[in-house]
Chains A and B, each alone.
Chain A
């Protein structure tokens, strides 16, 4: 039996049965000096008492202890691992750092597929919208999803009917990677007609859910699921949303979590896109072409890298390296050197080569990439950083 999965499943069930909340579990674990969820699970009997729980919670735990799941817990865990479901919890180093910093994030995340898509170095765009898009909405969604995934971006959505489905499909057809955050346990498929897409994403992408396997989709849970959509994304794109669409929840979560919200403009008389228009009025960014999002993401990546440079980059060490072994310099290091030089003044390629001593080919390759990403531009034959600080 997979003890990691078992302990996470156990915690998830505790939470689902309102026996303990995620924060309560964390505080219990830290108070008891336990380091992992596994040790908590092994010794859970010790904590299910009045020292740690209220009387209502104890009642609920007794009820839970009599349930079928508790009795056949091992079979349940095997059932989950047979479904290739795995898990990560907040005490895990693998739990994404950008989610740790947010409030109200799930204690346990279940997943199926390629977990590396949640890596810190990847850029993710969430594309969501109405279940009943117009022809315009369908076209926009597909086009943006395809084009963005060609830029090595991961497309995040909710596998719902309409826009979500189109976003996943567009991404997969362009050979990209996609993440679906499900409103049910990962052994369930919702909506049913997306079975093929579900299977494909489990093989080529990543399925995520905070709900334990076996949980049917809950209509009341749908809005809460949206907070995960925006939390794992760098920005959110709303292609088409009606007046009271659930999509607008995602937008407000995104705003609260500090993620940029992009909305596609449409005709003011369009009923299917009223939500978009009100978002735009409220200050959402306008997305007219995929490049609008790319420019924003380039900035995000740039600042992320800048943070790293400040920590790691040592000019003197680098200069020695250029002199002694110019071939061994990685493209990341070259980028750091270039940003370092360009942050003080604009320079031509010739000047950069002369100043830095780097080979011309490596400089031009990296500058070319940076130009396409939008982090540098050429003005009067000199390269200029587009992002000033």
Chain B
């Protein structure tokens, strides 16, 4: 009767729930009986398919697959799980349970996808998983070799493996040698932007709007006729943003890695994301969603630019979904009995024509749109979203001279200098937040309600701002956004206190009654 008692083994593994790395335990049990292989624990079809991959890779590595009743349980069993990252853990649990591998190390945390020949393949979600490891650091962690890049960035101690055999060697306490291979260092400097800010030399208003937007991380609306360089201007804006800090980079990689396996270049680059979203974008692609809740464009633009070209062409439903994340800086998506919170701190840059033919601003005489057409075109962007635009930036045609200028050999780009200036202005903003004892944020993202004290507006300036808001018929939000922009103007001037002249300039960037809307 002794051989009736089951042979058991268990290993820990990591899986992805939204953006969170979670720990699960994979238990394998072998009983005598008719040969069968069952995986339980609320897995989806990718986990059910794991059975065949595991069987094939165990065999191709020269081990025997138990010809008995085999049960694998993934706990906690009450949570839904998905993905192919359980393959390696299931295979290891089976090999340990059959006694073909002897465990020479303490607890094991292991994940990865298996090929039929026993290779270990990377899976999405590496950064979230590795971040979760920090709480499990006493264990031996075995990860796909590719994830070593991310681990190096995060400073996590893991063992990268390329095959099931290598994983077995680690578990049996042997060393493996991959030789020296350079890990991707995070780039020190950003590369030169593809388009320089001096292109806007002939348009001081746009130049000022763009440098202000960058300096305070303000949402911006670019309005101009077709071909005036709206997307060009958005690119210029990206070009003067300072590089991502390490923390920001990790936050961004957490989002990106949950969607795909990261390349070495994307890990190394410190460039801020620039998400050029097409106007056919669906609600769940924009804010996150899908059956297993993956982050959307707004999260992928984390600490960077979300660029919506042809704003009125977007479905109103999609645009209005942006309102909450703009205010709160995060997006909650509920799926499968659990709520995922995706970060969504981004700079919204919208671009649009002033009317369908696009000429009603620059050449009103040539405009073929009727007033009602113009009103309906502009009305597609809801007032609530326009209210959240801090800077309204009119664009005129970029003159050919200034474009040619930037292509000459002796021309020196100005964007890198601007980038440094913006960086300094950001530091001033962080410093002020630190003094006030709140988490450091840029002016455009500040969610404090007590702006007067934090932003150093005197009684006189507050009253002035309130009066202006009343005159311009701004909402309370409009007033707050105007005050934030005034603060950025003052920061760029290096002034400690916001003065009325800063408020006056901020007013000129609020959306006026444009076109025929009045």
Chain A interface (Cβ < 8 Å from any Cβ of B): 147, 150-151, 291, 348-350, 353-354, 360-361, 364-365, 367-369, 371-372, 377-381
Residues 198 to 242 of chain B near chain A (Cβ within 8 Å): 202-208, 223
Q: Given known contacts A350-B203, A354-B202, A380-B364, is B508 in contact with A364 (CB within 8 Å)?
A: yes
Residues 437-465 of chain B, each 1 if its beta carbon lies under 8 Å from chain A, else 0 = 00000000000000000000000000110
Cβ contact within 8 Å between A150 and B463: yes
| Min CB–CB distance B20 → chain A (angstroms) | 47
Cβ contact within 8 Å between A369 and B504: yes
Cβ contact within 8 Å between A360 and B394: no
Q: Which of B202, B396, B468, B513 contacts A378 (CB 8 A)?
A: B513
Cβ contact within 8 Å between A367 and B514: no
Cβ–Cβ < 8 Å partners of A377 in chain B? 512
> Is B467 part of the binding interface, using a Cβ–Cβ cutoff of 8 Å?
yes
> Is B168 part of the binding interface, using a Cβ–Cβ cutoff of 8 Å?
no
Residues 353 to 404 of chain B near chain A (Cβ within 8 Å): 354, 360-361, 364, 394, 396
Cβ contact within 8 Å between B208 and A360: yes
| Min CB–CB distance B405 → chain A (angstroms) | 16
| Min CB–CB distance A295 → chain B (angstroms) | 10
Q: Given known contacts A364-B505, A368-B505, A371-B507, is B471 in contact with A380 (CB within 8 Å)?
A: no
Most B-side CB within 10 Å, residue of A354, A364, A379, A381: A381
19 contacts between A and B (CB under 8 A): A150-B463, A151-B467, A291-B471, A348-B205, A349-B204, A349-B205, A350-B205, A350-B206, A360-B207, A364-B505, A365-B504, A368-B507, A371-B507, A372-B471, A378-B514, A380-B360, A380-B364, A381-B361, A381-B394
Cβ–Cβ < 8 Å partners of B208 in chain A? 360, 364
**Which chain A residue lies CB-closest to B466?**
A150
Cβ–Cβ < 8 Å partners of B32 in chain A? none
Q: Given known contacts A360-B204, A365-B501, is B396 in contact with A350 (CB within 8 Å)?
A: yes
Cβ contact within 8 Å between B507 and A372: yes
Complex CA distance for A118 and B352, rounded to whole angstroms: 51
**With A361-B505, A368-B505, A380-B515 given, can you name 7 additional A-B contacts, CB distance below 8 Å?**
A353-B205, A360-B205, A368-B504, A369-B504, A380-B514, A381-B223, A381-B512
Cβ contact within 8 Å between A380 and B507: no
Cβ–Cβ < 8 Å partners of A349 in chain B? 204-205, 508
Complex CA distance for A360 and B507, rounded to whole angstroms: 15
Complex CA distance for A348 and B224, rounded to whole angstroms: 13
Q: Given known contacts A372-B468, A372-B471, is B505 in contact with A365 (CB within 8 Å)?
A: yes
Cβ–Cβ < 8 Å partners of B463 in chain A? 150
Most B-side CB within 10 Å, residue of A291, A348, A361, A372: A372
| Min CB–CB distance A148 → chain B (angstroms) | 11
Cβ contact within 8 Å between B504 and A372: yes
Most A-side CB within 10 Å, residue of B205, B505, B507: B205
Complex CA distance for A360 and B471, rounded to whole angstroms: 24
Q: Given known contacts A365-B504, A368-B508, A372-B507, is B361 in contact with A380 (CB within 8 Å)?
A: yes
**Which chain A residue lies CB-closest to B472?**
A372
Complex CA distance for A180 and B471, rounded to whole angstroms: 29
Residues 454 to 511 of chain B near chain A (Cβ within 8 Å): 463-464, 467-468, 471, 501, 504-505, 507-508
| Min CB–CB distance A160 → chain B (angstroms) | 28
| Min CB–CB distance A88 → chain B (angstroms) | 32
Q: Given known contacts A380-B360, A380-B364, is B504 in contact with A350 (CB within 8 Å)?
A: no
Complex CA distance for A364 and B205, rounded to whole angstroms: 9
Cβ–Cβ < 8 Å partners of B223 in chain A? 381
| Min CB–CB distance B507 → chain A (angstroms) | 5
Cβ–Cβ < 8 Å partners of A367 in chain B? 508
Complex CA distance for A354 and B468, rounded to whole angstroms: 28
| Min CB–CB distance B99 → chain A (angstroms) | 79
**Which chain A residue lies CB-closest to B511?**
A378
Cβ–Cβ < 8 Å partners of A353 in chain B? 204-205
Complex CA distance for A378 and B471, rounded to whole angstroms: 14
Complex CA distance for A371 and B467, rounded to whole angstroms: 13
**Which chain B residue lies CB-closest to A331?**
B501
Complex CA distance for A381 and B468, rounded to whole angstroms: 19
Most A-side CB within 10 Å, residue of B207, B208, B394, B515: B394
What 4 pairs between A and B have smallest CB-CB spacing? A368-B504, A360-B204, A378-B512, A381-B394
Cβ contact within 8 Å between A350 and B202: yes
Cβ–Cβ < 8 Å partners of B501 in chain A? 365
**Which chain B residue lies CB-closest to A353?**
B204
| Min CB–CB distance B8 → chain A (angstroms) | 74
Complex CA distance for A361 and B207, rounded to whole angstroms: 12
Complex CA distance for A147 and B206, rounded to whole angstroms: 34
Cβ–Cβ < 8 Å partners of A147 in chain B? 467
**Which chain A residue lies CB-closest to B500?**
A369
Complex CA distance for A361 and B504, rounded to whole angstroms: 11
Cβ–Cβ < 8 Å partners of B354 in chain A? 380
Cβ contact within 8 Å between B467 and A150: yes
Cβ–Cβ < 8 Å partners of A151 in chain B? 467
Cβ contact within 8 Å between A350 and B204: yes
| Min CB–CB distance B175 → chain A (angstroms) | 65
| Min CB–CB distance A360 → chain B (angstroms) | 4
Cβ–Cβ < 8 Å partners of A371 in chain B? 507-508
Complex CA distance for A371 and B468, rounded to whole angstroms: 10
Cβ–Cβ < 8 Å partners of B394 in chain A? 348, 381
Complex CA distance for A4 and B501, rounded to whole angstroms: 43
Complex CA distance for A220 and B443, rounded to whole angstroms: 62
**Which chain A residue lies CB-closest to B367?**
A380
Complex CA distance for A147 and B468, rounded to whole angstroms: 12
Complex CA distance for A354 and B471, rounded to whole angstroms: 30
Complex CA distance for A354 and B396, rounded to whole angstroms: 13
Complex CA distance for A317 and B170, rounded to whole angstroms: 86
Cβ–Cβ < 8 Å partners of A350 in chain B? 202-206, 396
**Which chain A residue lies CB-closest to B493?**
A361
Complex CA distance for A150 and B202, rounded to whole angstroms: 38
**Which chain B residue lies CB-closest to A368?**
B504
Cβ–Cβ < 8 Å partners of B364 in chain A? 380
Residues 83 to 105 of chain B near chain A (Cβ within 8 Å): none
| Min CB–CB distance A307 → chain B (angstroms) | 25
Cβ–Cβ < 8 Å partners of A381 in chain B? 223, 361, 394, 512, 514
